[in-house]
A and B are shown apart, each in its own frame.
Chain A
Amino acid sequence: MNTLFGEKKEGATKIVLKSVDEYPEAPVSLGTTLSNFTGDWRTFIPVIDDDKCVKCYICWKFCPEPAIFIREDGYVGVDYDYCKGCGICANECPTKAITMEKEEK
């Protein structure tokens, strides 16, 4: 558990820093942003088809946020608080297991 920030929940990292004292000394974070969610930026959302996934973890390696995590069963999941919908994972996946779909908000 990273002690710089609050509790890390399953898959997601919810951090809301309310006072300056709660901030870490250096701007380091669990995702690429400090306290807000790059997930708010998304228009398209990656949808993963486990049947096609071969657990190569190329998507995990390429996700810039990094929003892809490895689930207990070895397949990959997406932390939607941080997935900004860039589609890199879908582009890199060798088996086309990831498709980008328009997100309904």
Chain B
Amino acid sequence: MEYKPVRKVVSGNYAAAYAVKHARVEVVAAYPITPQTSIIEKIAEFIANGEIDNIQYVPVESEHSAMAASIGASATGARAFTATSAQGLALMHEMLHWAAGARLPIVMVDVNRAMAPPWSVWDDQTDSLSQRDTGWMQFYAENNQEVYDGVLMAFKIAETVNLPAMVIESAFILSHTYDVVEMIPQELVDEFLPPRKPLYTLTDFDNPISVGALGTPNDYYEFRYKLAKAMEDAKKVIHEVGKEFGERFGRDYSQMIELYRTEDADFVFMGMGSLMGTVKQAVDVLREEGYKVGAAKVRWFRPFPSEELYELAKDVQAIAVLDRNFSFGQEGILFNEAKGVLYNTDAKPLMKNYIVGLGGRDFTVNDVRKIAENMKAIIDKGELDVEVDWYHLKR
């Protein structure tokens, strides 16, 4: 069958819901939280209208239960999905470790939202990045199309390496903003994403097993190693699945870091998620103005694309890391990771951290220009002014 996309104007949340439908998810367990709610409302609507069959929707009483139910469903071999945001994701935290430790390929959409207090429903990446060490893969979507594509790819990758995956989109900037999304006809999604093959079966009643069994000091260590290795192996799978997606549907995701006009760039802006759309637009404007700049959009934060970062860092004088998140007592989380990766390499670009857009503060093309001016001054001088710049601060 020839690929002819079906174009729909949808919000990021609806893009996620359509992807869940097309992925033939079997169990959705979810609790509503702004700004995630319309994802699960849309899925519920699909079910009510009879547009999806062979799916169980489990309305639960909290996010902790949503993840617990997803774990149960996934352990039986079902394709399971949930979605959340901010405090809801934090409430799931304990269960996130369970999902990864038990090697269950659950896919979840997290709508990035700032952690309270102050109470906020706006965009901020600290909620998902706080889950960094749970063993979940993390894909940051730049736009609604990437939300849709990301969910489909996440299932394929997760079910290949047996690790759960989070697809992350920005609160309101994507979740509630409508845009054209090219959707893939069901038969072609089915070809790309065949039914899941679980590691074990729970319904072989003659051979019952315990899931998430007790690992004494004699065994625990080996399982951690296996999980670490699965994350490492996931890089190759991400590359292959991203490439296959490109070959089938025309959008290539083979690179974990998407490079934009970096070939001859003196310095690049690096960041994740929707803010990189603004940055790419700014790069075009700045190039017109004579700046030799590029953008490096980190698509996958876990596993971390160390090798690709090294290749990029070798060729540029400086990297401005834009973090819509913060690790208190230290610095922006992406900045911290990127510097760590490069420490034992020969690549030593100047690296500066800009804390931007926390709690939904607007981040515009003009902001990128100001950062570019600052970066240029730093490079000319050959040294940093400050390492971590609270760029928007009212002074």
Name A residues whose Cβ lies closer than 8 Å to a Cβ of B.
1-2, 4, 17, 20, 23-36, 38, 66
**Is A20 touching B211 in the complex (CB atoms < 8 A)?**
no
**Is B219 touching A26 in the complex (CB atoms < 8 A)?**
no
**Is A25 touching B199 in the complex (CB atoms < 8 A)?**
yes
**Is B215 touching A28 in the complex (CB atoms < 8 A)?**
no
Question: When the two chains form the complex, which single residue of A1, A2, A31 contacts B213, counting CB atoms closer than 8 Å?
Answer: A31
Q: Count residues of chain B with CB under 8 A from any CB of chain A.
A: 25
Interface flag for B103 (CB, 8 Å): yes
**Is B222 touching A23 in the complex (CB atoms < 8 A)?**
yes
Contacts of B216 in A (CB 8 A): 33-34, 36
Interface residues of A, dominant DSSP: loop
Contacts of A66 in B (CB 8 A): 208
Pick the 9 closest A-B CB pairs, nearest first. Answer: A26-B103, A29-B213, A2-B207, A34-B219, A33-B214, A28-B209, A20-B222, A23-B222, A32-B210
Contacts of A36 in B (CB 8 A): 216, 218-219
**Is B219 touching A23 in the complex (CB atoms < 8 A)?**
yes
Beyond A25-B103, A26-B211, 8 additional contacts (C-beta under 8 Å) are: A2-B209, A17-B219, A27-B101, A28-B213, A29-B213, A33-B219, A34-B214, A66-B208
Known A25-B103, A34-B213: A4·B225 in contact at CB below 8 Å: no
Contacts of A28 in B (CB 8 A): 102, 199-200, 209-213
**Is A27 touching B213 in the complex (CB atoms < 8 A)?**
yes
Q: CA of A32 to CA of B212 in the docked complex: distance in angstroms? A: 8
Residue of B nearest to A2 (CB): B207
Contacts of B218 in A (CB 8 A): 34-36
**Is B199 touching A1 in the complex (CB atoms < 8 A)?**
no
Q: Determine how close the nearest CB of chain A comes to the CB of B161; give it in whole angstroms.
A: 10
Mark out the residues of chain B between 118 and 142 whose CB falls within 8 Å of any chain A CB in the assembled complex. Answer: none
Interface flag for B226 (CB, 8 Å): yes
**Is A23 touching B214 in the complex (CB atoms < 8 A)?**
no
Name B residues whose Cβ lies closer than 8 Å to a Cβ of A.
101-104, 162, 199-200, 204, 207-216, 218-219, 222-223, 225-226, 230
Question: When the two chains form the complex, which single residue of B103, B207, B213 contacts A33, counting CB atoms closer than 8 Å?
Answer: B213
Residue of B nearest to A19 (CB): B222
Q: CA of A30 to CA of B199 in the docked complex: distance in angstroms? A: 15
Known A25-B162, A35-B218: A30·B210 in contact at CB below 8 Å: yes
**Is A30 touching B209 in the complex (CB atoms < 8 A)?**
yes
Q: CA of A36 to CA of B214 in the docked complex: distance in angstroms? A: 10
Q: Determine how close the nearest CB of chain B comes to the CB of A30; give it in whole angstroms.
A: 6
Known A17-B219, A20-B226, A36-B218: A26·B102 in contact at CB below 8 Å: yes
**Is B200 touching A33 in the complex (CB atoms < 8 A)?**
no
Q: Determine how close the nearest CB of chain A comes to the CB of B127; give it in whole angstroms.
A: 27
Contacts of B219 in A (CB 8 A): 17, 23, 27, 33-36
Pick from A17, A26, A35 the residue with the most CB of B within 10 Å. Answer: A26
Residue of A nearest to B162 (CB): A25
Residue of A nearest to B223 (CB): A27
**Is B162 touching A32 in the complex (CB atoms < 8 A)?**
no
Contacts of A23 in B (CB 8 A): 219, 222-223, 226
Q: Determine how close the nearest CB of chain B comes to the CB of A23; give it in whole angstroms.
A: 5
Q: CA of A26 to CA of B226 in the docked complex: distance in angstroms? A: 9
10 examples of A-B residue contacts, CB within 8 angstroms: A2-B204, A4-B200, A23-B226, A24-B199, A28-B209, A28-B210, A34-B213, A34-B219, A35-B218, A36-B218
Q: CA of A2 to CA of B223 in the docked complex: distance in angstroms? A: 19
**Is A4 touching B215 in the complex (CB atoms < 8 A)?**
no
Q: CA of A27 to CA of B223 in the docked complex: distance in angstroms? A: 7
